[in-house]
Structure 1
């Protein structure tokens, strides 16, 4: 479930909110690669810290460990919500990085195609041009590759007739 911007800001400190605010729509498009890498690094650190806090709180609630420090009261829900905010921001940053990579790849592909076309156009013409359309004999008959049957046609029905006769003899008894 996604959180509203207002809810995100209520969960975060001022410096964290500034990092997350730059990952929303209008601001994220103005980030260059260096700023995206920096935001990714900060968000990963913040997310991992919140994940650690949430796990610790869950362990305390279950009674598996003692409380770590007195400055972190409450339940595990708040760190989980904060982790969700940072994860969503990190996802947005990763998507923007992927968009920039795709745009760069597309530009490189277009440049390579234009360079190849220029090379092809600047190449000298072939000495012997191809013949173009030529006459052809058309379809060619092929011989039958399957061999003829070795059983005489008169013998083909005799086997089934012999079976019929044998069955009739048995039925007569």
Structure 2
């Protein structure tokens, strides 16, 4: 459930309100990643304090524990709402950090794809070396063997001769 900014001003102190206000729509885009990380740590600690206070108040109401300290500050009347304000602000910061990481990953992937495409295009249009030169490593040499072609009329007789020779070998005693 979202909490209006006016209610946030009523629930938080000036310093806390400054931190939470930095997480709202136009202001959050001005922060870089390190500032967002610092703000995330601060909001987590504030949320933890508010959570602890809310749990303590709940225990006091149920009669499970005594009141802690002499008295709580004036902002402790609604500890659950305060915790909710910090939790919502933390969610906004986490989403913004995730969005920044996604954008960075996407740009990295696009750049890698562009580099791969450039390499592929360069490889397609590369001309082979014109002649054999020294210090170029192993070079492909054209085969000097002539390809033997068998006339079609002989193919069948050669196969038949192989079959006969195999049959003779198979017929021998071991």
Normalization by structure 2: what TM-score? 0.69
Alpha-carbon separation, structure 2, partners of 1:55 and 1:73 = 16
CA-to-partner distance for each residue in 1:92-115, whole Å, 9 max, x for gaps? Answer: 000000110010010000000000
The Cα shift of 1:71 comes to: 2.2
Partner of 1:58: 58
Whether the 8 Å CA contact 1:36–1:97 is kept in 2: the answer is: yes
Whether the 8 Å CA contact 1:54–1:77 is kept in 2: the answer is: no
Gaps of 5+ in 1: 128-173
Whether the 8 Å CA contact 1:59–1:65 is kept in 2: the answer is: yes
CA-to-partner distance for each residue in 1:3-60, whole Å, 9 max, x for gaps? Answer: 1101001100000000000000000011100100000000000000000000001001
Alpha-carbon separation, structure 1, partners of 2:47 and 2:68 = 19
Alpha-carbon separation, structure 1, partners of 2:73 and 2:85 = 20
Partner of 1:88: 88
Alpha-carbon separation, structure 2, partners of 1:73 and 1:19 = 19
Alpha-carbon separation, structure 1, partners of 2:38 and 2:23 = 12
Classify the secondary structure of the residue corresponding to 1:123. helix
CA RMSD of aligned residues (A): 1.8
Is 2:102 aligned against 1:102? yes
Alpha-carbon separation, structure 2, partners of 1:124 and 1:35 = 46
Alpha-carbon separation, structure 2, partners of 1:14 and 1:48 = 18
CA-to-partner distance for each residue in 1:109-165, whole Å, 9 max, x for gaps? Answer: 0000000001001115598xxxxxxxxxxxxxxxxxxxxxxxxxxxxxxxxxxxxxx
Alpha-carbon separation, structure 1, partners of 2:66 and 2:14 = 30
Q: Which runs of 4+ in 1 moved over 4 A?
A: 124-127
Is 2:81 aligned against 1:48? no
Partner of 1:30: 30
Alpha-carbon separation, structure 1, partners of 2:94 and 2:77 = 25
Normalization by structure 1: what TM-score? 0.69
Partner of 2:149: none
Classify the secondary structure of the residue corresponding to 2:69. coil
Number of residues of Structure 1 aligned to a counterpart in Structure 2: 126
Deviating more after overlay: 1-10 vs 20-29: 1-10
Gaps of 5+ in 2: 129-174
Partner of 1:156: none
